[in-house]
């Protein structure tokens, strides 16, 4: 089973409203977060599962689990073929990606921000499943949950250079694939002296598109990749968004597990 949480229906209080915050935050109590996690597990019919949420560090580190670790592991993706473990990734704009191999009965949960995406974490997670479980990519199903959309994800032009250096289709993930080094033909209009020109305008990055491209490159079939088009920054009535709300944002949780 699997599921993507929303911000509604919890016991935590944020700005006078009850919210389903699923991560330990300064503004929330541990008791509230644990109760919210129990509510989520009940909603996805996984009350008897052990919830395994790794300590995310915006990396390409992937862990394989066949038992609950004694201490939280640092990384941004986890995989298992053991029934009863509920893998989870926390997000508040980044892309949550859930993978399932119905043939080998194996699953993975991936947290893909721009750093993890640039490091090809989705593609590497597919490779890890091939190595650990004998997964054939064409058999994999992938679901990408709510995340910040290209409508709201404004980033510096330096990311264009980084993505186009790593991916042949990297430019296609931006609304304007500018590096920021292009000459400004109207530079004289701002009347600023040399060396004091305004910084180049930012661009918009489509994280879901970038990760879908990686899954296709890893061998997944297009019809087996499912993606939500809901933007967390646009829909703060339904989701948490760090970009929109800052440190007072909560965290969503995307989970996947195998029934016995």
In tens, the pLDDT along 57-78 reads 999 999 999 999 999 899 999 9
Instruction: Report the pLDDT averaged over residues 237-246.
Output: 97
Q: Residue for token digits 């929330």?
A: 28
pLDDT at 201: 84
Q: In CATH terms, is domain 51-153+207-257 a member of 3.30.465.10?
A: no
Three-state secondary structure call for residue 124: helix
Banded pLDDT at 195 (limits 50, 70, 90): low
Average pLDDT over the chain, rounded to an integer: 94
Instruction: Please name the residues in contact with 67: beta carbons below 8 A apart, sequence gap of 6 or more.
Output: 82, 85
**Rounded to two decimals, what is the model's pTM?**
0.93
In this structure, the strands spanning 77-80 and 62-64 are parallel
Q: Is the pLDDT of residue 191 over 70?
A: no
pLDDT at 178: 81
Determine the Cα–Cα distance for residues 75 and 189; give it in Å rounded to an integer.
Answer: 48
Banded pLDDT at 196 (limits 50, 70, 90): low
Instruction: Please name the residues in contact with 135: beta carbons below 8 A apart, sequence gap of 6 or more.
Output: 101, 103, 104, 106, 126, 129
Instruction: Report the pLDDT averaged over residues 73-90.
Output: 98
Determine the Cα–Cα distance for residues 105 and 259; give it in Å rounded to an integer.
Answer: 9
* Domain boundary assignment for the chain: 51-153+207-257, 154-183+196-205
Which tokens go with 228? Answer: 């939500």
* Neighbour count for residue 37 (Cβ, 10 Å): 22
| Angle at alpha carbon of residue 172, lines to 175 and 119, rounded to 5° | 110
Determine the Cα–Cα distance for residues 137 and 4; give it in Å rounded to an integer.
Answer: 23
Query: How confident is the model over 7-33, as pLDDT tens digits?
Result: 999 999 999 999 999 999 999 999 999
Query: How confident is the model over 203-234, as pLDDT tens digits?
Result: 999 999 999 999 999 999 999 999 999 999 99
Determine the Cα–Cα distance for residues 109 and 86; give it in Å rounded to an integer.
Answer: 9
Banded pLDDT at 198 (limits 50, 70, 90): low
Question: Where are any strands of DSSP class E within 113-202?
Answer: 141-144, 154-155
């Amino acid at each position: 089973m699997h599921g993507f949480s929303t911000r509604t229906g919890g016991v935590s209080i944020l700005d006078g409203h009850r919210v389903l915050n699923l991560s330990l935050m300064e503004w929330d109590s541990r008791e509230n977060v644990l109760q919210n996690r129990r509510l989520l597990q009940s909603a996805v019919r996984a009350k008897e599962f052990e919830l395994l949420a790794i300590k995310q560090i915006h990396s390409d580190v992937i862990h394989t689990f066949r038992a609950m670790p004694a201490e939280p592991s640092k990384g941004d993706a986890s995989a298992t073929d053991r029934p009863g473990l509920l893998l989870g990734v926390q997000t508040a704009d980044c892309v949550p990606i859930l993978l399932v191999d119905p043939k080998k009965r194996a699953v993975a949960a991936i947290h893909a921000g721009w750093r993890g995406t640039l490091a090809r974490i989705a593609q590497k997670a597919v490779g890890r499943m091939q190595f650990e479980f004998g997964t054939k990519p064409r058999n994999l199903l992938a679901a990408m949950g709510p995340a910040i959309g290209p409508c709201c994800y404004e980033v510096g032009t330096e990311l264009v250079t980084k993505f186009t250096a790593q991916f042949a289709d990297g430019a296609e993930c931006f609304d304007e694939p500018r590096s920021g080094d292009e000459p400004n033909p109207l530079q004289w209009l701002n009347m600023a002296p040399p060396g004091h020109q305004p910084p180049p305008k930012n661009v918009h990055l489509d994280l879901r598109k970038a990760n879908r491209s990686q899954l296709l490159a890893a061998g997944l079939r297009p019809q087996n990749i499912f993606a939500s088009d809901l933007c967390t920054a646009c829909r703060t009535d339904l989701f948490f968004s760090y970009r929109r709300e800052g440190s007072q944002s909560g965290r969503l949780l995307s989970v996947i597990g195998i029934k016995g």
